Amino acid sequence: MRTVDTFVDARALGSGCVGLVPTMGYFHEGHISLVEAARRECDTVTVSLFVNPLQFAPTEDLESYPRDLDRDAEMVEVAGTDVLFAPQLSEMYPDEPLTTVSVASVTEGMEGGMRPGHFDGVATVVAKLFAGITPDRAYFGRKDAQQLVTVRRMTTDLSFPTAIIGAPIVREQDGLALSSRNIYLDPAEREAARSISRGILAVADAVLVGERSGEELERIAAEPVNDEPGINLDYATFVDQDTASPLAGLNRPAFLSVAARVGRTRLLDNVHIDRVDGGWVPDVGIRLDEPSILYREA
């Protein structure tokens, strides 16, 4: 694996089909699953690692976001990465950036509503990575479901020749969706956070036994979070996979997304419901059979 810090080097090291995994680092098994998917499908696997200030609001956790380049480099090398692109701020933004890439409509609700400017920051940095690295394929977790919708739409609208791959959520043994931010949780918060995935998994079960009402699925997702002290629900919303706009019922590919606050930590989870062979198949992701690296390290 080569670690580089300029776009010129990152681009020069790509040959054949180039797969990009854009990240903010502090890797866990969710990131590793993206690297492994890229390794299976591409000639060159490039992981970018940049904690992008544009997608944090001034009140958010940019300063405290976990960073450990040596740890991260070792993890992605083992997983089969060819190129780790870890630019400094001065490579990404040599001048004050004046250019913003905005995606309307799909960014209006959910995280877009809670975090003004967040998706402008995401769309801008992803466009920049696509422009500067020219990947053939790019891998994102389904966990950030609205981000995936936003990136897909930006890619189509701007005619980037990059296939966007959404990979399943990876979960702890008890169901909690992996997130670098999980390391912020103390034991009591960690326990309260379980209520999110309980609701998500209950939605998947309800779909499998025939529930089709968006309102009812939202109620099922929200209930365990609302019943749990020490966690506050931001939203439980059922939307279209292509447009991220609310759906009254399951009549096209959809996802149900939940956001909640535990102490000062915001957590997201969702279940995508895909159309497979004429039926509805919930994607609840992958369950680890031991604690994730985030807990083995702690």
Q: Which residues contact a copy of itself by CB under 8 A? A: 7-8, 11, 92, 94-95, 97-106, 123-124, 127-132, 134, 153-154, 156-161
- Reply yes or no on whether 31 is catalytic: yes
Least distance in Å: CB of 110 to a copy of itself? 16
* Closer of 33 and 146 to a copy of itself (Cβ): 146
- State the catalytic residue, choosing from 28, 31, 118, 272: 31
* Closer of 102 and 173 to a copy of itself (Cβ): 102
Least distance in Å: CB of 240 to a copy of itself? 14
3-state secondary structure of 116: coil
70 burial (CB, 10 Å; 0-12 / 13-18 / 19+) is exposed
Closest CA to 28 of 134, 138, 119, 143: 143
Which two structure tokens, joined as six digits, stand for 160? 């980037």
Least distance in Å: CB of 245 to a copy of itself? 12
Closest CA to 43 of 11, 78, 3, 16: 16
Residues forming a β-bridge with 266: 261
Evaluate the CA torsion angle 168, 241, 42, 155 in order and state its sign: negative
* Closer of 104 and 188 to a copy of itself (Cβ): 104
- Residue 13, CA atoms < 13 Å, CB-side half-sphere: 21
User: Quick one: angle between helices 145-157 and 118-133, nearest 10?
Assistant: 50
* Closer of 94 and 229 to a copy of itself (Cβ): 94
Least distance in Å: CB of 161 to a copy of itself? 6
Residues marked as catalytic: 31
